[in-house]
Chains A and B, each alone.
Chain A
């Protein structure tokens, strides 16, 4: 097992490196940099620009160096927990980001749990009642969730909450907790605000999950051992729970790799509409303002989140299924 874990972590390093190169290329691509747009903006307002100071700033942040050198500098900094400097907020990126990273992780994590809780029973029901009205109906509802754009759902929820409860469901906590340190009251407030976003984001992933659980369980249910179990008179419930379900559990855990990127994507958009205190709203601002280190760190963080999520699901899978442990050790 230890060998498998070590091997899996080593494989992750080149992946993360490739992602960082990709992210850096994307944030480098736009012509010009933050300083140029900043200078242009100041000049448009008729202000005098101290070009010398700007040049000094450029040198300070390494903008006079070739991109490759800057890339390595950036990656090296990140390894030391230095994510660069946000030009727009004139603060180190880590200070701007603050709690947002944790809240993004929290939202994604809770959403996955929600998706599982919803998709698992529905998937089992659909598989055991194949081609029944319930199967069709539930599949259709799931598809409807997939087809409705998240942002619109968020708007409608926002409106309904306003109409029925007279409260605003925007943000992830009540306003008085914004810059407060973590406390029980704050945690409670976050939990209350989490419900709606999680439902909205969850709708998109649930449909796919239900479909895959259903297909997977159906494959298992047609196998010989299930027929044998039924034939010898095992109670249908037990014949389902004891083996086929366990078999499809494997896949259930590995599926996290395919739904996590979708959940993170959905979370970003929903966060923008509901102005949640996650990375979404800041990311879009940073992209528009060419605040490259901030945007780059966010992209890197989101990508890293899904890579690590997949890693964890792989570990869980290895714990559950000895075949994967052995195979992993052998490929080494």
Chain B
């Protein structure tokens, strides 16, 4: 049988022709405005839409944003200074806020506390005096404070009534208000995670970037290093590194020391992500083009490659923050981390170190509540970001 080609022989005239008129694709394939919006949206917009679908992540993000906003004005939001001692109110339990007094609405207030030392048990006993109503004042003058250690101010969002006290979360062994201390501690605890992640971020990008871009023996060395670091239990190493810091260092230097220590052991995950991404991306044509134009490796990595997977890195980093916050809390609790007068949630928990405290003054354990909340929130936020990081999926 003779094979017939489906193609026409060269030079044969066909029944149809090519129109000279300019062709507009849009005239044939109509796309709705909604579709156009999606097609033309930049990457960050797509990511935002994807992220928005993860409801819990959005709420956690809002919660964290508010929390981070409060650390700018924590002195204003707290009724007392973190070091103010109320010697007449040592180990006072949390006071309850009421709205109605004898059936009448008076606004938020607390009943005044009467303090008595029980001479038999030597226990401090606080009783409520329901005849004395201490109305909470708002936008009032209270303890003088230096806002961020700079501007002297004395306005607080709310303060106790004149002559009265207001301990929403009780007081500690020096009569310091726990609520104010937790607010102040947030400033340290929340920033330490961010700074630590920044350290590990830089290390991860630089080291992972070198391994991924150069490959070969650099990659071998880096990979072994990552393996070794990942197989090490982190807390004993943190302890060892924290023990190195001389006792003579000022609290502020210790603070930065701790962030560096937390970051030093944490970069491995990020470096791995950077490395594997670079391995796939460096084969792309645009990298070859940049290389031919004479761009140096540092330029190619930082300008062309890293922005391509930045969103992934941010998601990975978000998931690393909780470990750092927990790490700081644990180090401070064991006495190897931050030291008073610097106040972090971990430092506050030092007070709750023995079982008597748990039994007699359980409110001293309250700083753990923000720790748990923040860690949960970061976990959910990180999940949401990770899902959104690749919107084209």
Contacts and interface: CB of A to CB of B under 8 A. Distances in A.
B200 to A, nearest CB: 16
Interface size class of B (residues with CB under 8 A): 35 or more
Contact of B236 (A158, A159, A298, A307): A298
A78 interface: no
Interface string A234-271: 00000000000000000000000110011011101100
Contacts of B234: 261-262, 265
Contact of A299 (B227, B240, B329, B333): B240
A144 B377 CA distance: 11
Nearest to A147: B375
Interface in B225-252: 225, 227-228, 230-237, 239-241, 243-244, 246
Nearest to B234: A265
A268 B334 CA distance: 11
Contacts of B289: none
A158 B231 contact: no
Contact of A147 (B228, B232, B322, B334): B322
Give chain B's interface secondary structure class.
helix
Given A15-B231, A149-B368, A158 B239 contact: no
Contact of A268 (B232, B235, B371): B235
Contact of B235 (A31, A146, A155, A269): A269
Interface in B370-392: 371-372, 375-376, 379
B349 interface: yes
B228 A19 contact: yes
B371 A147 contact: yes
Nearest to A153: B368
B336 A269 contact: no
A306 interface: yes
Contact of A265 (B235, B244, B355, B376): B235
A27 B231 contact: no
Given A147-B379, A152-B365, A303 B326 contact: no
A264 B239 CA distance: 13
Contacts of A40: none
A150 to B, nearest CB: 8
Given A15-B224, A30-B243, A264-B236, A269 B334 contact: yes
Contacts of B122: none
Interface in A1-25: 14-15, 18-19, 22-23
B330 interface: yes
Contacts of A151: 330, 333-334, 349
A217 interface: no
B359 A159 contact: yes
Interface size class of A (residues with CB under 8 A): 35 or more
Given A15-B228, A18-B224, A155-B358, A148 B368 contact: yes
B188 interface: no
B233 to A, nearest CB: 4
Given A143-B379, A299-B237, A306-B231, A26 B358 contact: no
Nearest to A266: B235
Contacts of A288: 243, 336
Contact of A155 (B237, B239, B352): B352
A27 B240 contact: yes
A119 interface: no
A25 to B, nearest CB: 10
A86 B241 CA distance: 20
Contacts of B376: 143-144, 147
B379 A146 contact: yes
Nearest to A140: B376
A187 interface: no
A287 B336 CA distance: 10
Contacts of B375: 146-147
9 contacts: A15-B228, A146-B375, A146-B379, A147-B371, A152-B352, A155-B358, A163-B359, A261-B232, A265-B234
